[in-house]
Structure 1
Amino acid sequence: MSNNKKNSISSGFYKEPVPHITPDSPFASMMERFRFAAEILELNEGVFKYLSSPEKVIMVSIPVTMDNGDIEVFEGYRVIHNSILGPSKGGIRYSDDVTIDEVKALAAWMTWKCAVVNVPFGGAKGGVRVNPKELSQNELERLTRRYTSNMLDVFGPDRDIPAPDMNTNEQVMAWIMDTYSMNQKKTETAVVTGKPIILGGSKGRKEATGRGVVTCTLAALSKLRISPSKTSVVVQGFGNVGSVSAQLMYEQGAKIIAISDISGGYYNKDGINIPAATQYSLTNGFSLEGFDGAEKISNRELLELECDVLIPAAKEDQINKDNAPNIKAKIISEGANGPVTANADKILEEKGIMIVPDILANAGGVTVSYFEWVQDRHGYFWTEERVNRRLNRLMRESFDNLFMVSEKYSITLRQAAYVYAIDRVATTLKLRGIYA
């Protein structure tokens, strides 16, 4: 690195705080990793500023007539972080604790995630501040349709493509697709992904994120020369991503010694029967409460179990500077977004733990979302076997790309992911230029 570049870094533009961002926020964690990659790549100051700022931040009020006739007003967000690689892509979450700061971080992660797996999309994210469990189905539909109506100038199959996220599902995507289509006077299935198959959804989409996690986990095990059949696995979170990851690792012959959900952790040193646990959860209101195939432990104890693979597939910031010294896994495959805080990365690195970062490990969802978008645009749909085969190949190629970058620069896989993704976006920006 040149002396001039070193001086420019130390003088501040890589360390300049982003306005209005709290120091411990998800966006701040993302920016810390972004700055590291920017230094390695010797990014131009202008490019750094461009890539660290969202293109658009949209906030809307969503008035909804409730079933009792009262009017409630909810707050909705959509952040377009970057669209250099193509239309922006990202989920919509419904949560009463969603913040614009969180949405900004998730939108940026989507930019890097798409770049890591070489999908021609940019990054976006959306959210509505609401507890969907407090709404009736009719109220939820009215909320979704009004939010979509407010975003008609933002959404579009060639502009910005939403998808399911926390507390949203196929039905919500169907309402978005229909509302957008009604206003366009034609059916536009490609405006969203994660739709019901009958409305243009893709086979294999529901399992895609968990399948991608497992593909990357197997690739990491291969690098460490550990056989899947001799692997002990802990999975935090038993929702869609966690349960699919557990099931697929179970089918690989791995011993799943612990799983968890909101009711707590469940540990069996001899291995848990995952099909039985899945069936129990389905018949028990999607809860493991009362599951007798393992002993009850806390989620904190679960994270600190000795194992070969730890798959955190629950929420952000589960592994931090306080519990990172107690983590005993050989590999962490991040099924959730941001489950490891930036201040825990160095601790885990010093312990020799390989982290398969979220922007690679859980990119299976956006990859098959891309497949769905392609199928919608062509009007021709693939078999599930074809979807899975292409997903596995793309995820393995992406893992190998990052592993080569990590070896080239002697950095971790997470650092390599940011270097690879940011280099791809920055190179594209340089070739396209800035429109004046």
Structure 2
Amino acid sequence: MQIFEEMQARGHEALTLLHHAPSGLKAALAVHSTVLGPAIAGVRLRPMDEQEALKSALTLSESLTLKAALAGLNYGGGACVLLMPDTGVDDPHAREALFRALGRKVRPLQSLVVLTEDIGVTPSDIAFVAQETPATLGVNTDTSSVTGYGVYRGMKAAARSALGSESMRGVRVAILGVGAVGRTLAEHLHREGARLTVADERAERAEALADDLDGVTVVGADDLLDVPCDILAPCGYGHSIHSADVPRLQCRLIAGGEHHPLSRRGEDAVKEAGIMYIPDFAINAAGLIAAATTLTPEQAAERVYGTVSRIVNVADQVGKPPHVVARRMAERRIDLIGSLGRGA
């Protein structure tokens, strides 16, 4: 990957590499935009190589810019992707050192960046960061469960247009990835009477969910895209649906909690296939909204419901795909509010 070309193409402002040998900290901190305010950077920790970490930081930060703008927040977008230390993070003292080192390294950038939790990171981890820098959000928010509930509400809003009704009773939903967000989504759908098929790269998580929820079908992660369903909900680590996979899909709506489940080419492919796609930055924003405001989890989820409803209504009116409409809405707010600071 040509880093500077990638940054220029996406419009990034900065990419910083953070390193602290004693704690094992190795991280890529990307700032996509600070036009609306300091960049909210989701902190993500999972095993990956350096190239994957850099790419993830760039794509996630762009998504956060659009998410914050569409949600009406006065923040820009960033991402902080940590490589897993060689010694792991099972030792609580080692975990504390890792996240306090992160806070110490980010402290000089606190006017530009605000850190919050993402995959593999907990509110307790962010509390360690907060001991070293005030530039944090979400210490007291279970963002994963709030995000999952928001995805559920956004899915219902989209289903009104895609399926003719927002009721999930009897609707076939295939969920790829049942970590914290996917599991919460599954629980809400199951409660309403949806027919669930689930899969996860860690098969034991899918099996555990099926043990807890009656009537849930488990398939392999490689097989889920072939499952006939009404709604496909990607809730994994990103890029779960490759453009070459689109002909396999047997759904009418894609709506899930995963960041960037589709590439731009994949978005074009699902459009050609007649599948409605609600982009991640529109539907998985509830956790971010709750962390960044005084709204309750329920209020944050209802804001997602309202946003998705507005997107699909405008999409129906203008005859454009929802993912195109959502991006234009976010970019328009950035342009309009950003112009105030330029004296225009």
Query: C-alpha distance in 1, partners of 2:316/2:106?
Result: 43
Equivalent positions of 1:148-163 (< 5 A) are: 148-155=103-110, 159-163=112-116
Per-residue deviation at 1:162?
0.7
Per-residue deviation at 1:432?
1.7
Per-residue deviation at 1:334?
2.7
1:145 maps to which residue?
A: 100
Q: What SS class does the counterpart of residue 352 from structure 1 fall into? A: coil
1:239 maps to which residue?
A: 179
Query: C-alpha distance in 1, partners of 2:292/2:231?
Result: 28
Per-residue deviation at 1:56?
2.6
Is the aligned partner of 1:92 residue 2:43?
yes
Equivalent positions of 1:251-290 (< 5 A) are: 251-256=191-196, 258-264=197-203, 276-277=211-212
Per-residue deviation at 1:214?
0.6
Query: C-alpha distance in 1, partners of 2:192/2:289?
Result: 22
For 2:308, give the aligned amino acid: F
Is the aligned partner of 1:192 residue 2:139?
no
- For the 8 Å contact 2:198–2:219, the answer to whether it is kept is no
Residue 129 and residue 304 in structure 1: after superposition, are their counterparts in 2 closer, same or farther (change >3 A)? same
For 1:113, give the aligned amino acid: K
Q: What SS class does the counterpart of residue 79 from structure 1 fall into? A: strand
Residue 178 and residue 210 in structure 1: after superposition, are their counterparts in 2 closer, same or farther (change >3 A)? same
Residue 296 and residue 362 in structure 1: after superposition, are their counterparts in 2 closer, same or farther (change >3 A)? closer
Equivalent positions of 1:37-186 (< 5 A) are: 52-64=10-22, 74-97=25-48, 98-131=52-85, 134-135=88-89, 136-155=91-110, 159-180=112-133
Unaligned residue ranges in structure 1 (runs of 5+): 1-16, 22-26, 32-51, 66-72, 181-187, 196-200, 279-291, 375-385
**Match of residue 314, structure 1, among 233, 236, 254:** 236
Query: C-alpha distance in 1, partners of 2:342/2:300?
Result: 32
Residue 147 and residue 248 in structure 1: after superposition, are their counterparts in 2 closer, same or farther (change >3 A)? same
For 2:137, give the aligned amino acid: T
- For the 8 Å contact 2:251–2:275, the answer to whether it is kept is yes
Is the aligned partner of 1:297 residue 2:219?
yes
- For the 8 Å contact 2:255–2:277, the answer to whether it is kept is yes
Query: C-alpha distance in 2, partners of 1:326/1:56?
Result: 38
**Match of residue 216, structure 1, among 135, 140, 154:** 154
For 1:364, give the aligned amino acid: A
Residue 327 and residue 134 in structure 1: after superposition, are their counterparts in 2 closer, same or farther (change >3 A)? same
Bigger radius of gyration: 1
Residue 349 and residue 115 in structure 1: after superposition, are their counterparts in 2 closer, same or farther (change >3 A)? same
Is the aligned partner of 1:433 residue 2:321?
no
Q: What SS class does the counterpart of residue 90 from structure 1 fall into? A: strand
Per-residue deviation at 1:122?
1.0
Per-residue deviation at 1:275?
7.5
Q: What SS class does the counterpart of residue 290 from structure 2 fall into? A: helix
Is the aligned partner of 1:344 residue 2:279?
no
| CA root-mean-square deviation | 2.8
Number of corresponding residues: 337
For 2:176, give the aligned amino acid: Q
Per-residue deviation at 1:137?
2.2
Query: C-alpha distance in 2, partners of 1:369/1:109?
Result: 17
- For the 8 Å contact 1:81–1:123, the answer to whether it is kept is yes
Query: C-alpha distance in 2, partners of 1:425/1:352?
Result: 29
Q: What SS class does the counterpart of residue 261 from structure 2 fall into? A: coil
Q: What SS class does the counterpart of residue 233 from structure 2 fall into? A: strand
Is the aligned partner of 1:329 residue 2:251?
yes
Query: C-alpha distance in 1, partners of 2:123/2:311?
Result: 32
Query: C-alpha distance in 2, partners of 1:213/1:307?
Result: 17
TM-score under structure 2 normalisation? 0.88
Per-residue deviation at 1:131?
4.2
1:249 maps to which residue?
A: 189
Query: C-alpha distance in 2, partners of 1:18/1:94?
Result: 21
Per-residue deviation at 1:367?
1.0
Query: C-alpha distance in 2, partners of 1:297/1:56?
Result: 41
Query: C-alpha distance in 2, partners of 1:132/1:370?
Result: 33
Query: C-alpha distance in 2, partners of 1:255/1:77?
Result: 40
1:20 maps to which residue?
A: 5
Q: What SS class does the counterpart of residue 151 from structure 1 fall into? A: helix
Residues 288-329 of structure 1, C-alpha deviations (whole Å, 9 max, x = no match): xxxx97665321211221111111101222111221101001
Q: What SS class does the counterpart of residue 311 from structure 1 fall into? A: strand
Residue identity over aligned pairs, in percent, reads: 19
Per-residue deviation at 1:391?
1.6
Is the aligned partner of 1:407 residue 2:316?
yes
Is the aligned partner of 1:225 residue 2:192?
no
For 1:325, give the aligned amino acid: P
Query: C-alpha distance in 1, partners of 2:84/2:208?
Result: 36
